[in-house]
Structure 1
Amino acid sequence: MLLDNAFALAVQYWPLVLTSVVVGYLLNNKFWKGLNKYPGHWLAGYTNWWRFFDVYGRKHEYTVIRLHREHGDVVRLGPNVLSFGDPRAIKVIYGLNKGMIKSDFYPVQNAVSNGRRLQSLFSTTDEDYHAKYRRCVNNAFAMSSLVNYEPLVSSTLGVFLDKTEQLYAQTGRSCNFSQWLQFFAFDVIGDLTWSKRLGFVEENRDVDGIIAFLNKFLSYAGPIGQMPILDLFLEKNPIRLFSQRIGLTKSSFPVTVFAQSRSNERAGEIQKIKQYGLPEDKGNGRGVDLLSKFAQAAHDHPNFMTDTQVLASCVSMVFAGSETTAISLSSVFYFLLKHPHVYAKLMAELDSAVENGTIEARANKSVSWAESQKLPYLDAVIQESFRLHPAAGLILERIVPPQGMDILGNFVPGGTIVGCNAWVLHRRPEVFGADVDVFRPERWIEASSEKQKEMRGTMFQFGAGARTCIGRNVSLLEVYKLVPSFLRRFEIELEHPQAEWTTHNAWFVRQSDFNTRFRPRKD
C-alpha cells in the first residue's frame, strides 16, 4: 500500500522527482571522494560531458595548459579525473610497480576483426597480458635492432626524395606537406613491417583510404574515450559485434583488413618461420622486417603469441607508427620554416658536416642514422619540435590502485583517473626556461649536463614507464634520417609565409594547411 502511494506520488510529481535525481547525481559527482578540493573548469566536477565536448572542440591541449596556468599543478578534468602538471609526477604515476593500470579510454581504440576486439600492446588494460606480450616482441623494437631496420628506411627514403623532386621540385607545384610526410611514414611502416612499400608515395595517394579511415577513427576515439561507455553503444556495440562473429554481417576495421591482406601475401614464408624460426642469415641485405620478427616471437612463445597477436602487432604499426611520426616530422619542418635563422643555422651545420666528412657526400644527399647522431644542432631542433608540438594531445590516463596513493603530497583515492599531458609538462618554466612558448633550439645547446638530464627526463612525447611507446626507436630512426636528408636535397619555403597551420586534436594533434614549395638545392 505504501509503495503504491509512493509510486502514485512519483508519477504525479515526476518533474520534481526527475529534477531531484539529476541534482543529486550532479552533486554526488562534484563531491565524490573529496575531489571537489581540486580546481578546474566549473563544470568538470559535475559531469564528464564537459570533458567530452572540450575534446570534441579539437583544442583540448590548450584548455589544459590554460587550466594549469590558472590553477596550479593539479587540475580536475572530470568528476573522477585529475591532471598533474608537475614533472615529478611522471615517476609516481608511470613508474614501475606503482600498481597503476590504463583506464577504459584505451580499449576504445581496439581494432576489430570478425566481431572480436584485437588487444594491442597500446590498448590493453591488462598489465599481466601486456608484460607477456611485450616480452615476446621487445627484441623487435630494441635500439640494437635499428641496424636491421635502417636499410628498409633508407630504401623508402630514397624513393621519397626522388618522387619529391619529380612531383614538386621540378614542377613548382604546391605540396600538402603534412599529407606528403604521412605518405612517407606509411610507406616506411610498409617496408619495416612487410618489406614492401604500400604505394602511398609512388602513387601519391591514400591507398585503400587508410589515412582517411585513421583520421576519422582517431577523431572518434578522442572524445568517445572521455566517456568510454558510449563506445558500447556505437562502434563496439555487443549486438553488432555478435552479428559479425556469427556471420550475419561482414565488417572489420579497414586497417585490419589492410594489415591482414599484406600479411597474407607472405603466408607461406611466415608459417615456416613460426615452425622453424628465422634462418640465421636471410641474405637479402635489406634487414629483417617486423612481420618476420613477430613470426619469430610466435615460434619462441607459441602458447601466447598466436596468429591474432601477430595480426594485432601489425595493425598497431599501422595505427600508431605512421600518425605520430608524420606529426613529428611536420612539426620539425614547420618550425624551421617559421624561424629562418634556425633554418639557416641548421643548414650551416649540415654543410659543414659534409665538408669535414662527418656526413658522406652520397649522390641522393641522404644521411645515415649514425651520422645524424653527430649533429648537435639537428638534435636540438628535433627535441625542441618534440617539446612544442608533442603528438599526443590528451592526458595519458592511469587508474589509482584501490588503496589510494600519495602523488606529490596529494592523497588520491583509489579508482581515480590521473595522468599527465605532454603539452603541459613541456611548458614548465622551471625546467625549460621562462620562454617556454618560444621555439628556441639553443636551450638544448646552452643547458648544463645536469639541466639537459632534467629537460630530457621531462620530455613526455613517447610516454614513460613500462608503457612507453614501444616503437619510439623506429620513429626516431625515421625522423633523424629524413630531416637532414630532405634539407640537404631541397630548399623549402612556405606557400603563404604569414599563414599559420591548423591543428586538430583527435587524441593525436595532427596538422593541416601546411603547404610548401620545393626547389632542388645546389651543392
Structure 2
Amino acid sequence: MLVNEILPLLVRYWPVVLISVSLAYLLNNKYWKGLNRYPGHWAAGYSNWWRLWDVSKWNHQWTTIALHREHGDVVRLGPNVLSFSDPRAIKAIYGLNKGVYKSDFYPVQGAVSKGRPLLSLFSTTDEDFHAKYRRCVNNAFAMTSLVNYEPLVNSTLIYWLDRTQELYGNTGKSCNFSLWLQYFAFDVIGELTWSKRLGFVEGNKDVDNILGFLNQFFDYVAPVGQIPILDRILWKNPIILFAQRIGLDKRIHPVTLFALNRSNERAGQVEKIKRFGLSDDEKANPRGIDLLSKFAQASHDHPFMDDDRILSTCTSMIFAGSETTAISLSSVFYFMVKHPYVYSKLMQEIDDAVANGTIESRADKTVSWPEAQKLPYLDAVVQESFRVHPGPGFILERVVPPQGMQILGDFIPGGTIVGCNAWALHRRPEVFGADVDTFRPERWIEASPEKLKEMKAAMLQFGAGARTCIGKNISLLEIYKLVPSFLRRFEIELEHPGAEWKTHNAWFVTQKEFNTRFRPREV
C-alpha cells in the first residue's frame, strides 16, 4: 500500500530524487569515518573517479608528491584512501603481525585460466593463504640461492652482450635501450624459470606480442584498479568466466598461455620431480637448478603447491620479473649518462678493480656477483637510481583491520585503505638531504652508519614487510652483474645529447624515448 503511494511520487519527481540521492552519496563519501579531516585534492573525498581520472594521465606519482609537499605527511586520495609520506609509517603499515591486508587493487592484476582467477603471491589478499604459499617457494628466492642462479643469468648476459655488439656496437645504430634491456630481462626470466631463453634477444623482437600485451594490461590495471568493481564488469565478468569454465569461450590470458606452453615442454620432468623430488644429478647440475624445477620440488614437499600454483608462480615471473628489473636498469644507465661525473667515477672504480684483481679480467668482460659486491660506488649509483626512479608509482595499498589502528599517532578506522608511495618517501629531505630532487650517488657513501640505516629503512623500491617482492634478490643479481659487465665492454651516449626521456606510470613507471648509441670500449 505504501509502495503504491510512494512510487508515483518517485516517478513524478525523479530528477529531484536523483539529485538528492547523488548529493547524499557524495556527502556520505566526504564525511564517512571522519576522514574529511585529512587534506587532499578537493574532489578526492567525494569519489574515486577523481583518482581514476588522475591515474589515467599516467603521471600519478607527481600528483602524489605535489599533494604531500602542499598538505603534509597524510593526504586523502579517495573517500576511503589515505597516503602517508612519513617513513615511520612504513613499519606501522607494512610491519609484521599488523593485521593489515592487501586491497582489492591487487586481484585486478591476477591472471585467469579456464575461467578461474589464478591466485598468486602478488595478487592474493588472503594473508593466511599468502603465508602458506610463500613458505612453499621461499627457498627458491632466498639470497643463498643466488649461487645456483648466477650461471643461468651469466648465460643470457654473455649472449645479450654479444648481440649488443653485433646489432649496435659494431654498426653505430640507435638503440631503444629501455626496450633492449627489457628483452634481456625477459630472456633471463626464461633462463631462470625454464632453462631456456625465450627468443627476445635472439630475434630482437617482442615474442608472441607478450610485451605489447603487458603494456595494454597495465594500462588497464592502473585506472581500473582505483575502482576494482569495474574489473568484475569489464574483464572478470562472471558471465565471461562461466563461459570459459564450460568451454564456450576458449580464450586464455596470453601471459598464462605463454607460461603454460613453456612449462608443458617440460611436463614429464616436472611430474617426475613432483613424485620423487630432485635427483642428485639434477641438484649437481653446473648450470644451476631452474625455478620450474624448484617449484616442482616444492610441490613434492608441500601438497599445497599444486599445478595451478606452479603455473601461477611462473606467470608471476613474467608479469613482474621483466618489468621492474628493466625499469631499474634503464634508470641506472639514464642517470649515469645524464651526469658525466658519475659515469667517469664509476668507470674509474671498475677499471681500478680490474687492475688490482678485485674483478677477474675475463675475455667476455663479465663481472661476477661477489665481485660486484666489492664496488661501493656501483652500489651507490644503483641505490640512488632506486631512490630517484622507483619502479612502483602508486601507493602500496593495505586495508586497516576492522578494529582500526594507530598510524603516526592518529587512529585510522577499520576498513580504510592506507599506503605509502615510494616516489614521495624517497624525496624526504630530512632523510635524504635538501637536494632530494637531485641524482647524487655520493649521499650513500658520505652518510654515517646511522644515517645510512635510516635512508635504507625509508626505501620502498621492493615493498616492505611480509609482502616484500619475493623476486628482489634475483632482480639485484641481474642489475649488479649487467651494469659493470656492460660498462666494461661499451661506451654509451644519448642519441640526442640533452634529450629527456618520457615516463609512463601505469602502476609501474616505465621509461620511453631512451635512445642511445654504443661503441666498443678500449681500455
Deviation at 1:6, TM superposition (A): 2.2
Aligned residue number for residue 251 of structure 1: 251
Pick which of 278-287 and 444-453 moved more: 278-287
Aligned residues: 522
- TM-score normalized with structure 2 length: 0.99
Aligned amino acid, residue 289 of structure 2: V
Q: Percent identity?
A: 74
How many Å separate the matches in 2 of 1:162 and 1:41?
51
Aligned amino acid, residue 357 of structure 2: G
Aligned residue number for residue 299 of structure 1: 300
The superposition leaves residues 335-391 of structure 1 with CA deviations (integer Å, 9 ceiling, x where unpaired) of: 001101100000000000000000011111110000000000000000000000000
Aligned residue number for residue 440 of structure 1: 440
In the alignment, is residue 221 of structure 1 matched against residue 221 of structure 2?
yes
Aligned residue number for residue 289 of structure 2: 288
How many Å separate the matches in 1 of 2:364 and 2:345?
22
Question: 2:226 aligns to what SS in structure 1?
Answer: coil
What pairs up with 1:429-468 in 2 under 5 angstroms? Answer: 429-468=429-468
How many Å separate the matches in 1 of 2:497 and 2:109?
37
Pick which of 274-283 and 140-149 moved more: 274-283
Aligned residue number for residue 362 of structure 2: 362
Question: 1:518 aligns to what SS in structure 2?
Answer: strand
Aligned residue number for residue 35 of structure 2: 35
What pairs up with 1:134-153 in 2 under 5 angstroms? Answer: 134-153=134-153
Question: 1:263 aligns to what SS in structure 2?
Answer: helix
How many Å separate the matches in 2 of 1:17 and 1:330?
54
The answer to whether the 8 A contact 1:502-1:513 is kept is: yes
The superposition leaves residues 50-94 of structure 1 with CA deviations (integer Å, 9 ceiling, x where unpaired) of: 000111110000000000000000000000000011000000100
- TM-score normalized with structure 1 length: 0.99
How many Å separate the matches in 1 of 2:436 and 2:306?
46
Aligned residue number for residue 98 of structure 1: 98
How many Å separate the matches in 2 of 1:307 and 1:6?
56
In the alignment, is residue 413 of structure 1 matched against residue 420 of structure 2?
no
Aligned residue number for residue 509 of structure 2: 509
Aligned amino acid, residue 370 of structure 1: P
In the alignment, is residue 401 of structure 1 matched against residue 398 of structure 2?
no
Deviation at 1:2, TM superposition (A): 4.2
In the alignment, is residue 61 of structure 1 matched against residue 61 of structure 2?
yes
Deviation at 1:7, TM superposition (A): 1.7
Deviation at 1:498, TM superposition (A): 1.4
What pairs up with 1:58-97 in 2 under 5 angstroms? Answer: 58-97=58-97
The answer to whether the 8 A contact 1:115-1:251 is kept is: no
Deviation at 1:143, TM superposition (A): 0.2
The superposition leaves residues 267-293 of structure 1 with CA deviations (integer Å, 9 ceiling, x where unpaired) of: 111111000001134243100000000
**Structure 1, unaligned stretches of length 5 or more?**
none
The superposition leaves residues 449-500 of structure 1 with CA deviations (integer Å, 9 ceiling, x where unpaired) of: 1100110111100000000000000000000000000011100000011111
The superposition leaves residues 145-182 of structure 1 with CA deviations (integer Å, 9 ceiling, x where unpaired) of: 00000000000000000000000010110000000000
The superposition leaves residues 404-457 of structure 1 with CA deviations (integer Å, 9 ceiling, x where unpaired) of: 111011110000000000001000001000000000000001000110011011
In the alignment, is residue 195 of structure 1 matched against residue 195 of structure 2?
yes
How many Å separate the matches in 1 of 2:236 and 2:503?
28
Question: 1:395 aligns to what SS in structure 2?
Answer: coil
Question: 1:403 aligns to what SS in structure 2?
Answer: coil
Question: 1:173 aligns to what SS in structure 2?
Answer: coil
Aligned residue number for residue 212 of structure 1: 212
How many Å separate the matches in 1 of 2:458 and 2:89?
10
How many Å separate the matches in 2 of 1:429 and 1:256?
43
Question: 1:233 aligns to what SS in structure 2?
Answer: helix
How many Å separate the matches in 2 of 1:382 and 1:281?
37
The answer to whether the 8 A contact 1:491-1:519 is kept is: yes
Aligned residue number for residue 48 of structure 1: 48
Aligned residue number for residue 133 of structure 2: 133
How many Å separate the matches in 2 of 1:191 and 1:129?
28
Aligned amino acid, residue 212 of structure 2: A
How many Å separate the matches in 2 of 1:453 and 1:426?
14
Deviation at 1:105, TM superposition (A): 0.3
Question: 1:511 aligns to what SS in structure 2?
Answer: strand
RMSD: 0.7
Aligned amino acid, residue 193 of structure 2: T
Question: 2:322 aligns to what SS in structure 1?
Answer: helix
The answer to whether the 8 A contact 1:153-1:478 is kept is: yes
How many Å separate the matches in 1 of 2:2 and 2:232?
38
The superposition leaves residues 286-320 of structure 1 with CA deviations (integer Å, 9 ceiling, x where unpaired) of: 00000000000000012x11000000010000000
What pairs up with 1:165-184 in 2 under 5 angstroms? Answer: 165-184=165-184
How many Å separate the matches in 2 of 1:382 and 1:425?
17
Aligned amino acid, residue 247 of structure 1: G
